[in-house]
């Protein structure tokens, strides 16, 4: 197993090109189960997670061809309705095959995805929505068993105790496009990734309105066709590099990123004293000499993304004064605090809040990555810290950041891999 070694304490400079969105690509790949015709997906990031979804689709009977950042998906044999534990258990996003399998085959057997280090994320909202569409669902031996004669449109409320669910919205949306009649999805997730999925489904022949808002209306169609579709840029990767530029006081230009997808981050940074300027091809970061602490709460889109909480917390760890970061999407998502404190940060957790007392500098140390976004936060901290940082379990990074080493090296960072 490899570790990432970072020699920090220096500013970076250059351009970084943002890859396609992982969180868009996964449900979009799953949506190809809804058609028997070939689909070509462009701007798909070459990541461990997208490769896992490809393997899952192959196990279901699809032919999947990756070439650079283009994926061609077609039928190779009769599509199976069974998504096995070995693949679904490795990536929670795999659970989004449930909706399209049920809609296409009128039956599905999909392994429950299990928990993860950032807390239990139940699938009850997914099942509630599919039951409302007419599916009969049982859970046996760790699998969701769903079947129906024909899904039928209805009115569905998808709100949960922590707000809307992106994956549940994707599952219900994909199921509804082949259902009989109209489906009204209330309290739908508004994330750009849901809008992207809906736009792809529309290109395949679906009838969808209201995507990008809390109320999506779907009129079922009998059949969907193949499509060529380009995945949107990854707003979380873009946000990570923006925060990296801020924490290392670097002159970095972000290319191929959607400014409109990052308003909550841009507003939060403005309060800190950092301006994100829109350019013709992306964004550029302008940092003031004196930064200000802030209070921030993560919320479903268009609120501040939970997937940027760890990275923003790292910036606050080096900002003078006291900041308070409240996590309202996944309240247990603070495992990175202990690792940042190993590097000299002064952070304490109080329930769903982290209280951050800014320090002048961080010091390099051996640290352990716990999840994808925590890993990115530790990379940021390592690049800003004095001395050498060793990040273990870097396989987490490979799930969501394409060519991270190469992109950092191109910006002038001193990073390299070593065997443990």
Q: What is the DSSP string of 2-49?
A: EEEEEE-S---EEEEE--B-HHHHHHHHHHGGG-SS-EEEES----HH
Question: What's the chain's average pLDDT?
Answer: 94
Tokens of 282: 């992306």
Start and end residues for every CATH 3.65.10.10 domain found in the chain: 2-18+233-419, 22-230
Distance CA 44, CA 58 (A): 17
Distance CA 70, CA 241 (A): 24
Which positions of the chain have pLDDT values less than 50? Answer: 115-120
Which residues are CB-contacts of 141 (< 8 A; sequence separation ≥ 6)? none
Distance CA 181, CA 280 (A): 43
What dotted CATH number matches 22-230? 3.65.10.10
Distance CA 36, CA 74 (A): 7
CA distances from 353 to 117, 296, 338, 341 (A): 18, 10, 14, 16
Sheet order of strands, 207-209 included: 155-157, 182-186, 215-219, 207-209
116 catalytic residue (yes or no): yes
Q: In this structure, which CATH number among 3.40.50.920, 3.65.10.10, 3.40.50.2000, 3.60.21.10 belongs to the domain 2-18+233-419?
A: 3.65.10.10
Check residue 118 and give its pLDDT.
44
* pTM of the predicted structure, to 2 decimals: 0.96
* Of 39, 96, 116, 190, catalytic: 116
């Amino acid at each position: 197993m490899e570790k990432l070694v970072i020699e920090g304490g220096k500013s970076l400079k250059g351009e970084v090109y943002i890859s396609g969105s992982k969180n868009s690509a996964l449900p979009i790949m799953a949506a190809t189960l809804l058609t028997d015709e070939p689909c070509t997906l462009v701007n798909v990031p070459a990541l461990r997670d997208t490769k896992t979804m490809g393997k899952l689709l192959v196990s279901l009977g699809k032919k999947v061809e990756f070439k650079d950042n283009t994926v061609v998906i077609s039928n190779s044999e009769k599509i199976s309705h069974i998504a096995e534990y070995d693949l679904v258990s490795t990536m929670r996003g795999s659970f989004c095959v449930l909706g399209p399998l049920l809609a296409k085959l009128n039956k599905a057997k999909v392994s429950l995805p299990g928990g993860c280090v950032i807390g239990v994320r139940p699938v009850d909202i997914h099942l509630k929505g599919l039951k409302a569409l007419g599916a009969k669902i049982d859970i046996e031996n760790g699998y969701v068993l769903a079947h129906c004669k024909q899904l039928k449109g209805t009115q569905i409320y998808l709100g949960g105790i922590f707000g809307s669910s992106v994956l549940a919205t994707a599952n219900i949306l994909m199921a509804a496009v082949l259902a009989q009649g109209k489906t009204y999805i209330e309290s739908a997730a508004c994330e750009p990734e849901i809008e992207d999925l809906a736009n792809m489904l529309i290109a395949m022949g679906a009838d969808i309105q209201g995507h990008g808002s809390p109320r999506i209306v779907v009129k079922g169609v009998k059949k969907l066709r193949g499509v060529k579709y380009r995945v949107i840029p990854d707003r979380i990767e873009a946000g990570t590099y923006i925060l990296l530029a801020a924490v290392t006081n670097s002159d970095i230009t972000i290319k191929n990123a959607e400014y409109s997808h990052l308003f909550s981050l841009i507003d939060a940074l403005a309060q800190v004293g950092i301006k994100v300027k829109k350019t013709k091809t992306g964004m550029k970061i302008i940092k003031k000499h004196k930064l200000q602490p802030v209070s921030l709460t993560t919320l479903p889109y268009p609120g501040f993304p939970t997937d940027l909480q760890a990275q923003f917390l790292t910036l606050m760890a080096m900002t003078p004064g006291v900041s308070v970061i409240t996590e309202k999407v996944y309240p247990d998502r603070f495992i990175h605090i202990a690792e940042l404190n190993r590097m000299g940060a002064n952070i304490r957790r109080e329930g769903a809040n982290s209280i951050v007392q800014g320090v002048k500098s961080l010091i390099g140390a051996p640290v352990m990555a716990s999840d994808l976004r925590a890993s990115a936060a530790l990379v940021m901290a390592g690049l800003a810290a004095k001395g050498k940082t060793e990040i273990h379990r870097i396989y987490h990074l490979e799930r969501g950041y394409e060519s991270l080493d190469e992109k950092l090296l191109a910006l002038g960072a001193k990073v390299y891999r070593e065997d443990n």
